Amino acid sequence: MGQGQNSILVTGGAGFIGSHTAVELFESGYHPVIVDNLSTSDRLLLEGLPKITGEKVDFFEGDCTDREFLRSVFSQRNITAVMHFAAFKSVGESVEFPIRYFRNNIDSLIALLEVMKEFGVRDFIFSSSCTVYGQPEKIPVNESAPFLKAESPYGATKQIGEQILEASVRSGYRVVSLRYFNPVGAHPTGHIGELPVGVPNNLVPYITQTAAGLRKSLTVFGNDYDTADGSCIRDFIHVVDVARAHVKALEYLWSIGPESNSFEAFNLGTGVGVSVLELIKSFETSNKLSLSYSIGSRRPGDVIKVYADPSRIMKAMGWKPDFSLEEAMVHAWNWQKKISGLT
Ligand code: WQD
């Protein structure tokens, strides 16, 4: 399996976005090759993949900073492009352990670029983030917005990653950087979803764990912001829409012709701003339940309002979101009920 096929390397493919992207690659006729060190993910998602695709997962366990490991994968598979999801991504944790974040997120990127060069692989899709913008002056934010000071070392690793990639295209790489807004939800089949390790940092898994009785109550980090209902505003995008954009980005890269070396960044969001309190309401009404939550103090580092202007990716790749926020809330809850043994 996978020997001669057009294989797409999916680093961090045992994680939330990587696993959903592996499904979309498979369903579009490509062969995902997953590498993951399982440091912040779980084999559960790897076990869920075959239930959706009907195929055994092509998985290599290892670390993307380990050049020998990467070389062994590239020599066993005909890798034609790389999608790089493997990175630490907790804003709060990055403030606590900055060196660990810079080392892991930056050195894994450099190692991949070095090994790709050795094997003549040029096409690279990078998981970036809306955090590269800091608190944007203009909302909705578009790709020409400046990189303001990163709110966290995590955000800084994404800014530095893009700078490394932009500088590298001169030596022959073709790069698309996808700046995720807030990926939420789970696969409609319920076989894969979000699996935070420990106490969730992100809003939606905290909500679903509270609804499942694993957490006593959700704390809303502040309702005294300068917004309509006082809570922060974000752009919550279904994880399958994020995954489908990666397949579009791959095909976009292949459409721009062999001679061009390019770096292009695209916002990946719905373009709709939703407040924390509105999302809670959507979760409750979509799943016909009421959630226990209280208002707490602001979380340091939070930007008040950020949502995307997605017109560039829509125009260049013909991508658009297929799922609504309500569907994302239903899928997230179905997944939580399944992994909590509630269904
Ligand atoms: C969203 C809102 C919180 C938890 C981060 C990364 C970003 C991307 C998505 C990777 C904020 C509020 C949260 C809680 C709350 N990551 N909240 N109670 O910080 O917007 O973005 O995750 O791609 O790069 O920066 O996401 O889900 O942590 O917070 O009130 O228990 O929910 O204050 O306003 P964030 P988040």
CB 248 within 8 A of CB 319: yes
Nearest residue by C-alpha to atom 3 in ligand 1? 221
User: Looking at ligand 1, which atom is closest to the CA of residue 183?
Assistant: 9
User: Looking at ligand 1, which atom is closest to the CA of residue 306?
Assistant: 20
CB 312 within 8 A of CB 165: no
**pLDDT tens per residue, range 166-218:** 999 988 999 999 999 999 999 999 999 999 888 998 999 999 999 999 999 99
**pLDDT tens per residue, range 268-280:** 999 999 999 999 9
How far is Cα 25 from Cα 8, in angstroms, rounded to an integer?
8
Residue 189 CA, chain-centre distance (Å), reads 19
Active-site residue, 154 included? yes
- 1-5 long-range CB contacts below 8 Å, 24 or more apart? 1/55, 1/56, 1/58, 2/31, 2/33, 2/58, 2/77, 2/78, 3/76, 3/77, 3/78, 4/78, 5/31, 5/78
CB 167 within 8 A of CB 159: no
**CA of residue 128 to ligand 1 center, whole Å:** 15
What is the gyration radius of the CA atoms in the chain, in angstroms?
19
Residue 125 vs residues 133, 136, 174, 193, 250: alpha-carbon distances, Å: 19, 24, 9, 21, 7
Residue 102, pLDDT > 50, answer yes
Residue 72, pLDDT > 90, answer yes
**CA of residue 36 to ligand 1 center, whole Å:** 24
Work out the percent of the chain whose per-residue pLDDT is above 70.
99
Q: Give the active site residue among 101, 154, 173, 225.
A: 154
What would the mean pLDDT of 98-117 be, rounded to a whole number? Answer: 97
**pLDDT tens per residue, range 294-306:** 999 998 878 899 9
What would the mean pLDDT of 43-51 be, rounded to a whole number? Answer: 95
Task: Compute the mean pLDDT over every residue in the chain, rounded to the nearest whole number.
Answer: 95
Mutate to test the pocket of ligand 1, among 131, 236, 294, 305 (most ligand atoms within 8 A of CB): 131
Using CB distances shorter than 6 Å, the residues near ligand 1 are: 89, 91, 129, 131, 180, 182, 201-203, 206, 218-221, 232, 234, 276, 299, 302
How far is Cα 85 from Cα 242, in angstroms, rounded to an integer?
12
Which domains are seen in the chain, by residue range? Answer: 7-181+238-269 (3.40.50.720)
Residue 315, pLDDT > 70, answer yes
**CA of residue 71 to ligand 1 center, whole Å:** 36
Tell me what pLDDT residue 4 has: 52
**CA of residue 183 to ligand 1 center, whole Å:** 10
The three-state secondary structure class of 337 is helix
Structure token digits, residue 262: 């390019």
263-300: b (≥16 Cβ within 10 Å) or e: bbbbbbbbbbbbbbbbbbebbbebbeeeeebeeeeeee
**pLDDT tens per residue, range 226-265:** 999 999 999 999 999 999 999 999 999 999 877 788 999 9
Structure token digits, residue 75: 């020599």
Nearest residue by C-alpha to atom 26 in ligand 1? 202
Of 22, 153, 159, 177, residue with least CA distance to 94: 153
